[in-house]
């Protein structure tokens, strides 16, 4: 018997338990990585989720993560084309790979970026399920005598589906706090080198809401990585949109516009999410079919089942079947709870 087998099974049970009765907000993600630590030990981590429609980073969680500037990390991922890039791993047969002197001796991240925070090896997991990329997890170790091993890769790989479910559950399963006052919009302006030109109070408040609840977690400066990814998409004329939940359950939408002026190259707006904007990503996180998404779009407009059936040219019984499937996938008991997740 594999001596790590019981630990792996224990980690799987613990993460499954978190999914069935999730703790508040970011504690779900942190709890899942702590469970992973039972089988793949680490000294720090960074977990992030993406908007499933655009693939842009939209939420981050960490403990003892990297403190180097966001621009350095983004440059390493996109310009340096270092080993184990997240999107490369997402397409790989095994979406998990170590970064150690044995595996990638010429890596800038290994020899310059990680040592700046005292780390000597890294294990990256692209969190994917068939046809979907949900985010990624980086684990760090500081002992040069204990790099991540092939067995660590094997056990981490076994937990990829559950960790993917954690990111999806974080986005779907938490209605907004009714006592909370919704933030106004905010703006971040960047120059051609991704330098910060200006950021208003509204944007600072949103980044504060995106920060983790614990002292050694992701701080607002770390969350600028999400802003930079939206800006990079705007420069390439790609869909520059990232949707996510923040700590109080509000939906946040980050959207980028290319300006191309000498002082301001890209403007990124952070604003409260509305149902129309959020629904396409919400449907993917829930795993809805195209027809179920169409039914959901009409239900949140307040249409009765008969009206939905008429609009879609299907029977009322068929609409009822779709409704029950939507409620099950979203983890709610009826329309009111469903709508509460989207507003």
pLDDT level of residue 343 (50, 70, 90 thresholds) = confident
Instruction: Write a three-state SS string for 123-184.
Output: EEEEEEECCEEEEEEEEEECCCCCCCCHHHHHHHHHHHHHHHHHHHHHHHCCCCCCCCCCCC
Q: Is the pLDDT of residue 260 over 90?
A: yes
CATH number of the domain that residue 252 is part of: 3.30.450
Please give the pLDDT value at position 176: 63
Kindly report the length of the chain. 343
Q: Are 305 and 206 part of one and the same domain?
A: no
What is the average per-residue pLDDT within 85-103?
93
The residue out of 140, 172, 204 marking a domain boundary is 172
The CATH number of residue 307's host domain is 1.10.10.10
Listed residues 172, 197, 231: the one ending a domain: 172
Give the CATH number for residue 127.
3.30.450.40
Domain of residue 263, residue span: 186-276
Same structural domain for residues 155 and 25? yes
- Per-residue pLDDT tens for 134-177? 999 999 999 999 999 999 999 999 999 999 999 999 998 766 66
pTM reported for the whole predicted model: 0.92
According to DSSP, the β-strands at 266-272 and 121-129 are: unpaired
Indicate whether 112 and 13 sit together in one domain.
Answer: yes
Q: What is the pLDDT of residues 266-324, one digit of tens each?
A: 999 999 999 999 999 999 999 999 999 999 999 999 999 999 999 999 999 999 999 99
Residue 327's pLDDT is what? Answer: 95
């Amino acid at each position: 018997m594999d001596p790590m087998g019981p630990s792996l099974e224990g980690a799987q049970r613990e993460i499954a338990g978190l999914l069935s009765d999730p703790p508040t907000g970011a504690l779900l993600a942190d709890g899942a990585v702590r469970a992973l630590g039972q089988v793949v030990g680490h000294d720090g981590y960074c977990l992030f989720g993406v908007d499933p429609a655009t693939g842009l980073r939209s939420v981050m969680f960490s403990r003892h993560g990297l403190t180097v500037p966001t621009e350095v990390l983004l440059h390493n991922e996109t310009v340096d084309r270092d080993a184990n890039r997240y999107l490369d791993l997402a397409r790989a047969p095994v979406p998990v790979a170590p970064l150690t002197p044995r595996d990638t001796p010429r890596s800038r991240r290994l020899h310059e970026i990680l040592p700046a925070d005292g780390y000597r090896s890294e294990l990256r997991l692209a969190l994917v399920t068939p046809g979907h990329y949900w985010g990624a997890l980086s684990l760090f170790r500081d002992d040069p005598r204990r790099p991540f091993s092939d067995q660590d890769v094997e056990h981490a790989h076994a937990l990829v589906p559950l960790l993917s479910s954690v990111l999806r559950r974080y986005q779907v399963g938490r209605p907004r706090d009714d006592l909370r006052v919704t933030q106004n919009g905010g703006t971040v302006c960047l120059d051609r080198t991704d330098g910060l030109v200006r950021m208003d109070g509204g944007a600072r408040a949103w980044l504060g809401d995106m920060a983790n609840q614990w002292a050694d977690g992701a701080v607002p400066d770390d969350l600028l990585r999400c802003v930079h990814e939206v800006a990079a998409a705007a420069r390439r004329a790609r869909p520059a949109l990232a949707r996510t939940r923040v700590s109080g359950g509000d939906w946040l939408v980050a959207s980028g516009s290319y300006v191309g002026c000498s002082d301001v190259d890209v403007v990124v707006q952070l604003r409260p999410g509305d149902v129309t904007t959020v629904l396409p990503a919400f449907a993917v996180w829930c795993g809805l079919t195209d027809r179920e998404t169409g039914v959901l779009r009409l239900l949140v407009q307040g249409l009765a089942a008969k009206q939905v059936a008429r609009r879609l040219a299907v029977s009322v019984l068929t609409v009822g079947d779709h409704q029950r499937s939507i409620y099950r996938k979203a983890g709610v008991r009826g329309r009111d709870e469903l709508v509460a997740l989207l507003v």
